Amino acid sequence: MTALNLDQLQQDSLIQTLQQYQPVFWFPPENVPLKQALQHVGLTRADIEDAEARLQRFASFIAQVFPETQKQQGIIESDLVRITQMQQCLSEQWKIPLQGQWWLKKDSHLPISGSIKARGGIYEVLAHAETLALAAGLISLKDDYRKFDSDEFRAFFHNYQIAVGSTGNLGLSIGIMSAKLGFRVSVHMSADARQWKKDKLRALGVHVVEYASDYGVAVDQGRKAAESDPNCFFIDDENSTTLFLGYAVAGRRLKQQLAEKNIRVDVEHPLFVYLPCGVGGGPGGVSFGLKHAFGEHVHCIFAEPTHSPCMLLGVYTGLHDQISVNDIGLDNITAADGLAVGRPSGFVGRAMQGLIDAYYSVADPTLFQLIFKLNQMEQIQLEPSAAAGLRGPYYVATQPQYQQLHHFTPSQLDHATHIIWATGGGMVPQPEMQQYLFKECE
């Protein structure tokens, strides 16, 4: 799509719907051939395998310093659970048949930091630590990485600093892992960040800088602070391919998980994956991994709050990081703090637009209803951001134009697997979780 200018935007009916904070569903009108779309990303399957191998090298260290990962031998991975009750409940509530099998991918309960950021964020810290240790001759690729758990390594890393800007969960992941390795670390938190996340980081000795403004400002300030110190490494959530590859590792792991559960993914059994999107790195990276793992049989659908539909806006207009939701008059204020991002990643939208099958937005009250119901039906507790994916199957079921674009037959839709990527909530303190869960009853 060619870039629209702001005058044209005011006339556009989808933009007008966004401006009214109404939920929308949108998909690119043409399919880009898979091979071409994958090549356009500029990263390869080999890059994902390299990330997998790095996480494998660190597994012994992780298992040692984070005992909760021991039963998975230091591999940070989440469960996939069937949510049949929820599927039935929503089918009744929305008064539509919801076919196929629903599963919840519980990144919400990933070890160490309880969100999807335990993939990308932690991976980038490890990659940086490995680079420094290799360059200093402290380690070789064949060593047992439990060596990283030593006073010698911690003293070494104490000479280096890591900085990041975040709405909360990325800061939490990076802060926890950096502090464990011995780095000095600064987390620049946007106004959306919850108090408990800041408290937790400060208790670990992390330097938390608070801003009264949104995510974009926190990132800019973090970047600036890092530039003045050559020993400071800035983790760039808006552009980092390292973060992206950390997320992409999820693709092959999910393929294995589905195989273990005898769930087929092929022409007759399409897979739909619904991913909450903030700046785009998490859902973008996961989608890249999924497309490599499942090819054209997987459909990746991004979910954003009606107050912060930044990726939808960036891709739809072709303006990517040159437009923010504020430019069309939206306030970027949402209870879905993990998704409270006004301007999308410049890298993800451009690189991934041929691989993202559809986008939709969801209103905050719907998110609260969904977390309430999920708790009631399945006893699983999520933070508001993490529930955005639960609205996705509604659109696949009710949008004939989307079904026609992909030539879905009734039999294919009947045999489909729907994976709702639950991205956070596992570390939310109980009092705060109770407020989330029962907000819908107010």
Interface ranges with ligand PLP (CB under 6 A) = 115-117, 169, 276-283, 338-339, 383, 385-386, 423-424
**Within 10 A of 326 (CB to CB), how many other CB atoms are there?**
14
Measured from the CB of residue 352, what is the shortest distance to ligand PLP in angstroms?
Answer: 11
Written as one letter, the residue type at 10 is: Q
Measured from the CB of residue 425, what is the shortest distance to ligand PLP in angstroms?
Answer: 7
**Is the Cβ of residue 280 or residue 354 nearer to ligand PLP in the bound state?**
280
Measured from the CB of residue 189, what is the shortest distance to ligand PLP in angstroms?
Answer: 13
Please name every residue paired with 133 in a beta bridge, in sequence order, or none if there are none: none
**Is the Cβ of residue 69 or residue 240 nearer to ligand PLP in the bound state?**
240
**Is the Cβ of residue 9 or residue 437 nearer to ligand PLP in the bound state?**
437
Entry field: residues in the chain: 442
> Closest residue to ligand PLP, Cβ-based?
278
Give dist(CA 400, CA 345) in Å, integer.
30
**Is the Cβ of residue 184 or residue 194 nearer to ligand PLP in the bound state?**
194
Give dist(CA 162, CA 131) in Å, integer.
14
**Is the Cβ of residue 139 or residue 388 nearer to ligand PLP in the bound state?**
388
Measured from the CB of residue 409, what is the shortest distance to ligand PLP in angstroms?
Answer: 32
Residue 399 backbone phi and psi in degrees, to 5: -110, 90
Measured from the CB of residue 46, what is the shortest distance to ligand PLP in angstroms?
Answer: 23
Measured from the CB of residue 7, what is the shortest distance to ligand PLP in angstroms?
Answer: 29
**Is the Cβ of residue 74 or residue 171 nearer to ligand PLP in the bound state?**
171
Measured from the CB of residue 244, what is the shortest distance to ligand PLP in angstroms?
Answer: 9
Query: What's the longest Cα–Cα distance across the chain?
Result: 63
Contacts of 79 (CB under 8 A, 6+ apart): 106, 109
Measured from the CB of residue 353, what is the shortest distance to ligand PLP in angstroms?
Answer: 15
**Is the Cβ of residue 109 or residue 253 nearer to ligand PLP in the bound state?**
109
b/e code 207-232 from CB counts within 10 Å (16+ = b): ebbebeebbbbbbebbbebbeeeeeb
**Is the Cβ of residue 99 or residue 381 nearer to ligand PLP in the bound state?**
381
Instruction: Identify whether the C-beta of residue 153 lies closer than 8 Å to the C-beta of residue 138.
Output: yes
Query: Angle at Cα 303 formed by Cα 6 and Cα 281, nearest 5°?
Result: 85
**Is the Cβ of residue 100 or residue 168 nearer to ligand PLP in the bound state?**
168
Measured from the CB of residue 144, what is the shortest distance to ligand PLP in angstroms?
Answer: 32
Strand positions, DSSP E, 306-440: 358-362, 417-422
Q: Is the dihedral of CA 284, 289, 295, 300 positive or negative?
A: negative
**Is the Cβ of residue 48 or residue 139 nearer to ligand PLP in the bound state?**
48
Instruction: Identify whether the C-beta of residue 308 lies closer than 8 Å to the C-beta of residue 339.
Output: yes
Give dist(CA 372, CA 437) in Å, integer.
5
Measured from the CB of residue 161, what is the shortest distance to ligand PLP in angstroms?
Answer: 23
**The two structure tokens encoding residue 165:** 């800007």
Give the DSSP per-residue string, 11-56.
Answer: H-HHHHHHHTT---EE--SSPPPHHHHHHHHS--HHHHHHHHHHHH
Nearest to 250 by CA among 225, 220, 275, 218: 275
Give dist(CA 159, CA 176) in Å, integer.
17
**Is the Cβ of residue 393 or residue 426 nearer to ligand PLP in the bound state?**
426
Measured from the CB of residue 407, what is the shortest distance to ligand PLP in angstroms?
Answer: 30
